[in-house]
Chains A and B, each alone.
Chain A
Amino acid sequence: MSAPERFLERLTQRRADDPSWVAARRQAGAARFEAMGFPTRRDEAWKYTDVRRIAEGDFALATDATFDGAHFEAQRLDIDAYRLVLVDGLFSAELSELEGLPDGVQVEALSQAVSANHEAVGGALGRLAGVDFSPFTALNTAFADEGAIVRLAPGVVVDKPIYVLLLSRAGGQAVMSHPRVLIEAGARSEATVIEHYSGEPEAANFTNVVTEVLLDRGAIINHYKLQEAALTDLHVASIHVDQSRDSRFNSYNLNLGGALVRTDLVTDLNGEGAEAAYNGLFFVQGRQHVDNHTLVNHNSPRTFSNENYKGVLDDRAHGVFNGKVFVKQDAQQIEAYQNNANLLLSDRAEIDTKPELVIYADDVKCSHGATTGQLDEDAVYALRSRGIDEPMARALLTLAFVGEVMDKVRLNVIAERVERAVAGRLPERFNLADLVETAEAIQEA
């Protein structure tokens, strides 16, 4: 049996009572996945990322959504939000908190939408993330029967963040999950949506998520993806964004966890005045592998994009950044800025970075660049001259490097979490958690 067949065989575990629109999607996804198979490093888009660990794995589907209470409290963000929780891909009503949603705001599990046979949801799903995008998108389409549906009526500004927490469990048979996130923002609506991947420390599961975000005229979505999966977890994600006129999409793609992580982020700027900001951070160590592929399509005139990705790599970690900006011929007077800066903390860490600009219009403002380097030695000296030893000086500067992206993060609870994680994950003698706490305390005083 081939690897795709082996994966698809698990489909028989799934219920047979899907509405017809769901069944048709599944079949299309399965057929496409079987035809494509898993990507190999001969595929340009997967040149630096070997997915054999996924293809050769044996992943069941979870059958229940129980999660240890203490772990849950430790993992979840301490934030006042509308919360929807999935455990190994299954919806947990018990851990979710969706009471009090304002009028015009729909947040529900995909299974609830399917049960209610919400055909509007069916019409939106897959509109952006076609099964041809990648074998993983096809695989997700074949399996996806759970996820989060967020729909905002025109003009609604959601008072609290919408927090989707996806947890991965440890122990027993490794499982796979194929969650689907759909965000449909009506004209001039506004919301912050958090996708948070976390779980038990020894979890070794495979998560394959697809997110679609549709922004109508003037809508604003702040999208946080905080990926703190276990260092043994496998994680593949694609995020597809479609922006109408004057809409704004702010992405914060923050990667700390995972053994093998691949994220594709694609935005289509389809209306004048549409604006996308991509803020990215990856901090990897050990033998972690993280691959970010981003694409911005400037399809309309006077559209704007600004991308800033930072990577910190230690030990034998491997990072990949492939950022592409595409400007259509009649997309005049656009502005596109892209930057990727990486910091290597070890001689054996590796980064493959490729910023690309493809421009067919002639009246544009574009810039791109990539830098990879070590820490600023003048700054190291300045700190040492105050009595701070060299390892500590380097730790402070690493935290500072990360801080440049974190300063853009408007949710303090996430900024602090990432800062603490970075501080705490530096070698022990570099541990700056205490400093971060003092700084927070003095600010609050």
Chain B
Amino acid sequence: MLEVKDLHVTVEDKAILKGLNLTINAGEIHAIMGPNGAGKSTLSAVIAGKDGYEVTQGTILFEGQDVLEMEIEERARAGLLLGFQYPIEIPGVKNIYLLKAALNAQRAARGEGEIPAPEFMKLVREKSAEMKLDPSFLQRAVNEGFSGGEKKRNEILQMLVLQPKLAMLDEIDSGLDIDAMKVVASGVNSLRSADRAILLVTHYQRLLNHIEPDRVHVLVDGRIVKSGDKELALELEARGYDWVLEESAA
């Protein structure tokens, strides 16, 4: 589904990713872990097309398409969505406007007509309930005045409505208490299916107690230096990152 090859990225002339390789297949959940400053957030941001990142080398293919040639909105419509670590407040734009406009844009890209209003209303009410968000949330401006936990649940609500093929979640667990974490994790788990994939970027292992990854990668200094199954996350939790650094330096 996603193939990242030899990806080099600079931000303001500073090299952040230095030859990253990653393949994600449909049906899989991958977790990217690593110390602060390793380039974890850069990877998902580049895939989503955020400004300010310069790809100097390498390719990103999504279902065979060259992602780097696609506009931001084309990537989203193709099924690549990024849940932000710091969701952006959009004063005055109601959640409901964003959800409907986004869903219809995606349908239009697939050559489908607009979603009928009753169907849409049923969908968003169901998904809001799953995320334990009161329906009044739909009338509120996107992220404006939301608590940290509400912002994160709102990111997942967008995922549940838009059903991306590849959901990338950047530090979705930061700032969450245990109850909010469970709600967020159950939302993410409900996205899990044989034809979809999920990429989790996280600093801490605790999220992975709730969302079980198929593959865990350790990103250090712009490269994936170690990959393993979920046991690797537990080992990192217990031993920290130093041993991986030493191993990779060796």
Contacts and interface: CB of A to CB of B under 8 A. Distances in A.
Given A388-B73, A396-B98, A438-B121, A383 B90 contact: yes
Given A383-B90, A384-B76, A389 B97 contact: no
Given A386-B81, A388-B105, A441-B121, A396 B96 contact: no
Interface in B87-131: 87-94, 96-98, 100-102, 105-106, 109, 114, 117, 120-121, 124-125
Nearest to B99: A386
A442 B124 contact: yes
B50 interface: yes
Interface in A353-389: 378-379, 381-389
Contacts of A124: none
Nearest to B93: A400
Interface in A398-445: 399-404, 432, 434-435, 437-439, 441-443, 445
A389 to B, nearest CB: 5
A384 to B, nearest CB: 4
B48 interface: yes
B51 A439 contact: no
B202 interface: no
A432 B88 contact: no
Contact of A432 (B81, B87, B97, B141): B97
B88 A379 contact: yes
B77 interface: yes
Given A381-B72, A439-B139, A441-B121, A387 B105 contact: yes
Contacts of A443: 139
A390 B101 CA distance: 12
Given A378-B88, A392-B105, A400-B91, A385 B48 contact: yes
A371 to B, nearest CB: 14
Contacts of A402: 92
- B88, B97, B141 — which one has the most chain A CB atoms within 10 A of its CB? B97
A295 interface: no
A441 B96 CA distance: 11
Contacts of B139: 439, 442-443
A11 interface: no
A397 interface: yes
B97 A439 contact: yes
Nearest to A406: B92
Nearest to B96: A439
B158 interface: yes
B90 A387 contact: no
B92 A404 contact: yes
A373 to B, nearest CB: 14
Given A381-B51, A438-B100, A387 B92 contact: no
A221 B234 CA distance: 67
Nearest to B88: A382
Given A379-B93, A439-B96, A390 B73 contact: yes
B100 A435 contact: yes
Interface residues on B, range: 35 or more
B162 interface: yes
Contacts of A404: 91-92
Contacts of B120: 438
Contact of B158 (A378, A386, A401): A386
Contacts of A401: 92
Contacts of B141: 400
A392 B49 contact: no
B225 interface: no
Interface in A317-362: none
A127 B49 CA distance: 63
Contact of A438 (B73, B87, B93, B96): B96
A234 B169 CA distance: 55
Interface in B115-167: 117, 120-121, 124-125, 135, 138-139, 141-142, 158, 162
B2 interface: no
A442 B96 CA distance: 9
A392 B103 CA distance: 13
Contacts of B101: 383, 388, 392, 396, 435
Contact of A400 (B48, B51, B77, B90): B90
Contacts of B71: 384
Nearest to A405: B92
B48 to A, nearest CB: 6
A105 to B, nearest CB: 35
A381 B75 CA distance: 13
B82 interface: yes
A389 B73 contact: yes
A387 B77 contact: yes
Contacts of B84: 382
A432 B92 CA distance: 14
B121 A442 contact: yes
Contacts of A392: 101, 105
A442 B97 CA distance: 11
26 contacts: A379-B88, A382-B87, A382-B90, A385-B48, A385-B50, A385-B73, A386-B98, A386-B105, A386-B158, A387-B109, A390-B73, A392-B101, A396-B98, A396-B101, A397-B90, A399-B93, A400-B141, A404-B91, A432-B97, A435-B100, A435-B101, A438-B100, A438-B120, A442-B96, A442-B125, A442-B135
Interface of A: 378-379, 381-390, 392, 396-397, 399-404, 432, 434-435, 437-439, 441-443, 445
Kindly list the 4 A-B residue pairs having the minimum CB-CB distance in the complex, ordered from nearest: A400-B92, A387-B76, A382-B88, A386-B102
Interface of B: 48-51, 71-73, 76-77, 81-82, 84, 87-94, 96-98, 100-102, 105-106, 109, 114, 117, 120-121, 124-125, 135, 138-139, 141-142, 158, 162
Given A387-B109, A388-B102, A400-B92, 7 more contacts: A379-B90, A382-B90, A389-B105, A396-B101, A400-B141, A434-B114, A442-B135
